[in-house]
Amino acid sequence: MINELRARELAVIKRKIPKIDPAFTYPIKNLEPCTFGIEKSRETYYQSLVRAVIAQQVSTAAARTIGKRLRDKCEGSIIVERVGQLSLKELQSIGLTGAKVRTIDELTQATLSGEINFRRFTHLGDEEIIQELVPLFGIGRWTVEMFLIFQLGRLDVWPVDDLAVRRGWDNLHKNTEPIKAKVLEQLGEPFIGMRSVVAWYCWRAS
């Protein structure tokens, strides 16, 4: 289902960004358009986080293979109840590292117990969701930021620790020295309310 209100919102944002920083004129006109929140994700919140954990520090192809193995273990669908029935050895057998096994196990147990209640997330702010999830082993701020952007469609996330975002910013601004995260944090302030969209075009320009 297409969210027409979000589509109009993004259209307004894409007109605002180049007025704040002309370096974004070319990518907004010529690169793949930002679509955050226009279409509802087919994944559950739990599935999205599991996929993000699987993808950490591995190639896209490897993540896809491991994800398929997990789906097969779960009889075709990665739902929390089925993952919760798998032993740690079964999780490791699909190609997960020991650390990722622990992360997925802790996430699964926290979801099953109600410690993490995804239904509340609609009513929580970005920072509140970050504070809910980062206490879990292996889930850092970057992982939650990706979840906020790509799963929840939040528009004001500024993932300055993401190397590709910094590299894209450098490319667009023709920087001769790599920008530091703390500096980029401050440079994002004029874009408050639309920083996820700025990050999108930095990724595309990286």
- Burial level of 176, CB count in 10 A (0-12/13-18/19+)? exposed
| Residue 39: strand pairing partners | 2
How far is the C-alpha of 72 from the C-alpha of 94, rounded, in Å? 10
Active-site option among 72, 126, 156, 162? 162
> Tokens 């919140």 identify what position?
45
Residue recorded with tokens 């879990």: 136
Euclidean distance between CA atoms 165 and 160, whole angstroms? 7
What is the C-alpha separation between 185 and 16, in angstroms, rounded?
19
Query: What residue spans of 56-157 are helical by DSSP H?
Result: 60-73, 80-84, 88-93, 98-113, 126-133, 141-146
Q: Angle CA(91)–CA(52)–CA(37) in degrees, nearest 5? A: 140
170 annotated active-site: no
Catalytic residue set: 162
